[in-house]
Structure 1
Amino acid sequence: MRLLVLFAVLATVAGVYNYAGNALDEQQVRDFYAAHDKAMVNQDGEALCAMTAPDFEMVVL
């Protein structure tokens, strides 16, 4: 019984995190695109590279 309750609590927490906890709102997306556009217009490679994930790796074929 305890295991079932623990599983239900963990499933609830995971569901809340997945559907509401890690979501981006529209303003965050617009701000990112505005910063990206500004960096592209100014040809600011440092700013563009700072926008990528830390483990990003470019592969050229």
Structure 2
Amino acid sequence: RQGRITIPPPLRAYAGLSRECVVNGANTRVEIWDSQRWETYLADQEETFAELSEEVLPGVV
């Protein structure tokens, strides 16, 4: 779902945000990621996520 969030320029620069972003709920906080950085993070973490899933739910995932 698309929407608009206004983020001040200094915070956009600090976070490396481009025009397209991902908003992610993470426990008790919300994270805003640059879309490309989010995709790269997910690809880098895929193996770790798979290992954790197997540890938490052995044989299910």
Is the pair's TM-score, using the shorter chain for normalization, greater than 0.5? no
TM-score (norm 2): 0.32
TM-score of the superposed pair, with normalisation by structure 1: 0.32
Q: From the two aligned structures, give the one with the greater helix fraction.
A: 1
Q: Which has the larger radius of gyration?
A: 1
Query: Whose strand fraction is larger, Structure 1's or Structure 2's?
Result: 2
